[in-house]
Each structure stands twice: as C-alpha cells, then as structure tokens.
Amino acid sequence: MADLPRYPNGRIHRKFATPLDPDNEVSLEWIGINAPCDRIPSGALDFCDRMDYQDEYSAKDEFGRFLTIEWADQPDWYDLSTHNRGWTPLAKEGDTKRGSWARNTKSYLRAEGPDADGKWGLDAAELREVEADTRYFRMLLEELSVNPLMDSETYTPYVFDYEKLHMPYNFEDEVHEMVMEVRRSVLDHMGTIAWWTAVIPQWADGVAANVVQDIQDLDFRSYHKTGYLFKLSRDWRGVNFGLLIRKDVPFFYVWGEREMRDKRFARLDPATIDSWYASNERNELKELWADDIPLDFSEWDLATHYDRFLQLKIDPYCRPRNPLPQAAPDGGSLDETVIDGQGWKRRGLAEDESIEEMHQHYHHVVVERKSTKTTIIIFQRFHPKPKKEEMTRDRDIVMDSRPPPDEEILRERFKSRSAPGYGEIMDPETGVVREQAIQENSPSDDVAKYEHQLTLNAPMQALGTHLIHPLNHSSRYDDSEHDATSYGRSVAPRLTSPDSDHSSERRESKDSRLSYSSSHSTALPPYLGARRAHGGATYSSCLWRIPFDEGWNPVLLEKGYLIISEAAEFRLRYQILANPSLRFPRHVLEVALERGIPILIGYKRSDCDHFRPKKSDLDFSPSVNKALVDLRGRGPRIAMSPSIPTMYMEYRRILGKLADLPQARALILRGGATSWIMRAYVGMGLVARALKGPSVQVTVFHAGGNDTGDDHSLDLTWDEVSEGDLESVYGYIPGPTTEQDLYFYPTDAMLEDFSDHYHREWNPFCEETFKKIKTELDNNRGKARTRGDWKKFFQSSNRGERRPRVVAKEDLIEEEMARLKGALMVESWNKRRIADVGRDLPHHFIADF
C-alpha cells in the first residue's frame, strides 16, 4: 500500500483481538483504518473462515438482523463474490433522502394485523414506499449497466422477490424479517452504485442525464460506509487498499506474529506506521509513498520491494522485448489474453484494450496448446516494460516509479472475474488454476514460488509417485498435456499420514469440513490431480450447508443402507480421503447431499416398523395416495402458453404440490439439479424430511424403488418419485413433438450430455448457472428451452476461456476406481449399512454415529 492517511494524534486505531487459535499464545490486534475498532462485530473472528454464518436459519434480532454479522450495517469478512458490500451507505442523523428507511436498519416499519384470518402484513403506506424504492434502485443500477465499462461479469446484487411484500404472514416477527430481507436487497444495490460511481470516473458515460442527476442527488459519497474485515494472507490479491483509504471506506485487519513475519505486509505493520508518524508529527503529507520513506527505516526498505497492490515488483529489464506471433502454427487459432495482477486468472481483452497498446507497455508469454491447435498470447499487466524515456536511467528509479493512475480502476473493473476466489491459486505466468484448496494459514511468499500444497492421507500413497516439477519461467510454454495432467508444471501435492511430522501446519477452522495444508510434494495420478486442479472433486467452496438445527435420525443411520453408483462412490471416497476432519458415517451422507452427489437410502422391510408414522399422519388426498403407489404416472403438466410468466407461475405451483408428496424427500437425495431446484423453490423443509428417514411410501405402502431384480438383492426399498413427477421438477412443458418439448431448467441428463463442467457432482459452475436462470425467470426475463436450445446454451461455456481443462470420462473414472480399490483393498459401499460405511477408511474415521 503506497498511501496512508493521517489520523487523530497520528495514530491508527487498535484493539486487542482474541487469538484465532486458543493454543496460540501470541497476542493479536485488530487494526482499524478510517474507523475505530469498536465498529467490528463481537465474535467476528469466529466466522473468519466460515462461509455459512448468514442464511435464513441464522439467529436474528427483533428487527430481523443477523446476530452473527449483519453486513447491511456492519463490516463483514471480505468476499470477492460480494466485494461491493463494504461501500454500503450507513444511516445518518436527519437522513431524508430516498431509501432512508432501508439504511435505518434498527427501526420498525408499521405492520398491520392480525386480520380475520389471523394474518399479518405491511402497512399499506409503508408497502407503497418500500416497493417503489426497491424498484427505483433496481432501475438505477440497470440504467448504469448501459455503460460499456460495466460488463456482464460485474457483480449484480440479488433481486428481491416483490411477491413477498404482498404475502400474508402468520406472525408480526415474520413481517419484520421480510422487511430486513428487502432492506438488504436495496442496500446491496446502494452499495453497488456507491462503489461503481466512486471508483469509475467515466461512470456517467452513456447513462441518461436524469439518471445521472438522480444518482448525484443521492450523494452516497457523503455517507459513512459499512467497510470490510480482512484476513491479509487470504484477501490481499483482490483488494485495493490505497483506494479504500482515499475514498474513506473503513477496513479492519487482524495483525499478529504471522503478519509481522511476512515482508509483503510491511506497509500495513501498525508499529511501522506509528513510528513514522511519531517522527513526523509536523508532517503535513496527506499520503505516504514508498519514495518518501526515510532510508533508515529497514521495515519500509523491505516494503519497497512490493508495489501498492502488495505485488512483488519485477524488473522491467529482466525479459527481452519478444515479438508478437502474427499467426498460430499449423493453421490454428490465435487468442489474446491479459493477466491484471499477480496470481490472477487470465481474461480476454476488453473492448477498450488493443493488442498494440498491450505489446507496447507490458511483457507477454506465449502458450501453445497443441491438442486444440491454439496459440495464446498472455499480456502481464503486473510486469510492465521500461518506458522509452527511462531506458538509460538507473533501474531502481524505474522500479520505484508510481503505477499508472488507471491501474486501480482496471483492477476494480475486472477483479470479480479475474481475481482468485476463496482458496484458488493461479499459475503466476499463465493465469491458469494450479490448485483449489483452502489456504487459510499458508505463507504469503512471492507469487512466483507457489509453495502451497495439499495434504492427503496415507492410504492414497499407493496411487501416486514422487514427482516435483520446477516452475518454468521461459517465455514460451507448451501446455499440450494439460488436459491430462493438470498442467504438469504445477507442483503436485504430498500424500502423507495425519501422524506425519510434515502433515498439516494449518489450523483447522472451527467449522471447516475441508482440511488442507501446506507440505512437500508427491504427485496424484493424472486423473485425480486433474480433477483436483479443475475443482470437480475437491473444489473448496461450500455451496450450501445442512441447517445446523437439523440432525440425522439415529435409527436411519443404524438401519439404513447406502445405495450408490460406482462413479458417485469414487467422487465421494475422494472427498472423504481428502478431508481428515470428516470422521463419522453421517459425514459421508452430508458430503453427498451438500456436493450434489446422487445417493439413495434403502431399508429392509423388517426394519420399517421403526419408522411407522402415527395414524393421524396418513390422512392424504386421493391424488397423493395415488402418487404414493403409482410410479408410472405422468405427473402434473404445464400447458403450453405464449406467456412465459403464466407458465412460470404454474411451474411454481406444481413444485409446491410435488413438495407435499411424502416421498418428495427423495428429490434431495438425488442431488444435482433436482436437489438445487427443490431447495431453491420449496426451501429446506425437504432436507429436514430427508434426514428423518423414509416416508410412508416405504414404511406403509412398500411401493417405492426396490432391488428385487438385482442379482444380490437385500430386499431393500427406498423412496422414489415417478418419472413424470421428476420431469415436472425441471419445468417440463410438452410440445407438439418431442423436439419441441420445453424445459425451464436443464435436466441432470442434459447437464451430463451438454456441459463439460458437470461431472455428476454439483459445483460452482452449476450453482452460478442455475442462479442466473432463476433470476431471469423471477424477473420475467427468462424463457423455456428445448433440448436443442439447452445444448446451444452450454456450448459457449465448453469453449474458449470458460471451457474446463478436464472433461471427466466414465472410462477414466472406472479405471481410477479400480486402482483405488486395489490400493485400499476396499469393498464397494453400495448396499452397505450406513453404520458400516467408512470402516475401510484410515484410522481417523470413526465407525460411529
């Protein structure tokens, strides 16, 4: 960070922090910039490494605010996917500008009720204002999006479902929770507008004059902002600290021994900053540059090796000026890409960037991908060329030259698409994903070294061989083997026992189910290594969690049998082996549900008495009774209509009816798109039912799926929905011909056939895609598609920069599963008692529940 503001008495704000690790005796401090540390939520450190502390199941106060961290009016942990939220304006005294009701989060809006039916709702006058403002701020952001600098990758806040404003509620508290939800949506839009208009000087280009005037009248610059909490070792690559300082956005970070030892963070050392201010009490400087630091400050001397973005400075003279290839060899294609920051992903050139300018100002490397006959030119913005007028000057002067003024703007524009996400590590030269792992306490060394490794368990050693690849720093690369070997130049992970002296040096997060660490290197088999790098088997982001207040029925864990395909078992075993913190048989089921891996839970007929319901629970309508026993029914259908909103409303009604079926819990166990759709539209109630055991379809009617036709039948029965009902989950709309049948969502079979990103396991690509589809449908912008349309829909993500580097093939899965069995001498988990699942795993796994 190159610039630091002055503070009262020449000091920054400090506050003692409880150590992250109870066994760590080193004291930690909260350091506050632009705001005092009493703004930090109590217990914030408990949520530093967790991604699930804000959801509909989190505890809330009387206003509907989260009791953990309420990002609407408190600084929250930095998340690249919601990076604008620290700019959210806070309420101020006498605030009468539009949207003040949303900023004042600790106030009630009038609720009406109860009515004759005992229902509650929002006061009519309040309702009109809330709905008008919600639509107004949405309109402002949509108008801003016409600016060519705001592309489709720029963060878009979530849109509140306006129907919730008009719904009846059973209790007054539910009305207040709904109001807080709409407040968050409005504040998210405000924060995005405040961020965009503050960091992009040309934000008004192409925007209607009345919209520009409205935004200027809102005067978000005069408001205090919520701010950010940073874990420096994890977040530094995607943050412009200097920009936050100059724009008066508060941020707070934990400072301890680990941060002190890392020279990258020398500019943020509170002792160094205090020392400098103490020796310059009459200094009138408003900002502090590396060039201004006295030479006798050794800490600052170290800091000058890093630029204002905490990136290691690279000598502009260290690489010759290589000519640009004019064409790809053998008639292949030629692509031009950019890496904006060290450790960032590469992206395509924007409309306002030219190849000539890039070649003039920045060094580049060339990647040749022989498998696709593609030559990729990668310009490195973090590695500038020496300026012509400075070619004869001393190199140190060039090294200390200040970055171009537009560098911060560029990083803000593209960080949502290019900065590394939680746990991602990119190749420093080519910008491709090298590893995906939670690196919570890994050293923040020079990016070019990349010594971050995974630690897995000893039984996997039989599958790999010792192999270390040095990082190749040549200007031309050949990644023709990358599709098969996970970009072979990546240093491979070490496979070691939990008892090893070199095992994990990281502190496991309090609730982390992914336990990775740094160590030496041993290669995984090519397919496993490729899946790890691709993120298909061990991606680090947890997309959803089973609610904390829901638990497994112990009888289910004792009497139930796991039914799983070999391909699904392969992925599930790899997850369990890669995560030593998973210790119980129930964890196998939880990983399967949360990763969207399809499973079934079967029960012997003799055990069904343990789950028999009360007679009062058997009073179903005739249609439900029929659906319980008729698995060949066609299910409810959506009538073809020229109005998409009409068909969509009918689709949502059908999903509600499907959720009422006792056996609908099976839709959660199926994983994939089926589970996502039911959770997104119906809620987590189905998940709770899935944890409790079988429905009456199994226990009373014995009419679900069964294994009677198998060679080794155990007389198992499980919950099952009809094929017709399953089609209805995807929004099936029959057409005149099969080719003209429409679907609101792609089926799991379509995902497998058409998307190279989907490997029968839900992943961030699927999550992002389905959220986008739902947002478009909810806002009357979506459409139903034929099977052919869905094929075209996924083609764009199978090609170019968005395409996956590894496409899982079933023959590879079968081969690796056979090797896994041979190495571990395991038996299949299919049709094994859940209580016995995991007994063939390492000793860290406890056969208990």
| Model confidence band, residue 537 (pLDDT cutoffs 50, 70, 90) | very low
- Among the listed ranges 113-122, 186-195, 371-380, 518-527, which one has the minimum average pLDDT value? 518-527
CB atoms within 10 A of CB 802: 11
- Among the listed ranges 177-181, 326-330, 709-713, which one has the minimum average pLDDT value? 326-330
Q: Is the pLDDT of residue 778 over 70?
A: yes
Mean pLDDT of the chain: 74
Between residues 837 and 449, the one the model is more confident about: 837
Between residues 798 and 715, the one the model is more confident about: 715
Q: Is the pLDDT of residue 689 over 50?
A: yes
Instruction: Tell me the residue type at 744.
Output: F
CB 662, CB 690: distance < 8 Å: no
Using the structure block, give the residue that is written with the tokens 């050693």: 461
What is the β-pairing status of strands 476-478 and 362-369? parallel
Question: What pLDDT does 268 receive?
Answer: 82
Q: Is the pLDDT of residue 55 over 80?
A: no
CB 243, CB 408: distance < 8 Å: yes
Sketch the domain layout of the chain as residue ranges: 92-222, 329-418, 552-598+811-849, 609-802
Distance CA 101, CA 126 (A): 10
Instruction: Tell me the residue type at 431.
Output: G
Question: What pLDDT does 662 receive?
Answer: 87
Distance CA 769, CA 6 (A): 45
CB 611, CB 701: distance < 8 Å: no
Distance CA 71, CA 53 (A): 11
| Model confidence band, residue 326 (pLDDT cutoffs 50, 70, 90) | confident
| Model confidence band, residue 388 (pLDDT cutoffs 50, 70, 90) | low
- Among the listed ranges 25-34, 204-213, 578-587, which one has the minimum average pLDDT value? 578-587
- Among the listed ranges 84-98, 376-390, 507-521, which one has the minimum average pLDDT value? 507-521
| Model confidence band, residue 189 (pLDDT cutoffs 50, 70, 90) | very high
**pLDDT tens per residue across span 230-262:** 999 888 988 988 888 888 899 999 888 788 888
433: left (phi over 0), alpha (psi -120 to 50) or beta: beta
Q: Is the pLDDT of residue 790 over 60?
A: yes
Q: Is the pLDDT of residue 144 over 80?
A: yes
Question: What pLDDT does 392 receive?
Answer: 36
Distance CA 714, CA 706 (A): 9
β-partners of residue 528 are none
Distance CA 692, CA 687 (A): 9
Distance CA 721, CA 628 (A): 8
Q: Is the pLDDT of residue 220 over 90?
A: yes
Is the full-model pTM beyond 0.75? no
pLDDT mean over 767-775: 92
pLDDT mean over 378-393: 66
CA-to-CA separations, 557 to 1, 693, 697, in angstroms, rounded = 53, 9, 19
CB 275, CB 251: distance < 8 Å: no
Q: Is the pLDDT of residue 544 over 90?
A: no
Between residues 355 and 629, the one the model is more confident about: 355
Q: For residue 122, report the phi and psi dihedrals to the nearest 5 degrees.
A: -85, 140
Report which DSSP code applies to 366: E
Which tokens is 760 given? 């029968």
pLDDT mean over 114-127: 91
| Model confidence band, residue 619 (pLDDT cutoffs 50, 70, 90) | low
| Model confidence band, residue 623 (pLDDT cutoffs 50, 70, 90) | low
Question: What pLDDT does 574 receive?
Answer: 74
Q: Is the pLDDT of residue 610 over 70?
A: yes
Question: What pLDDT does 746 receive?
Answer: 96
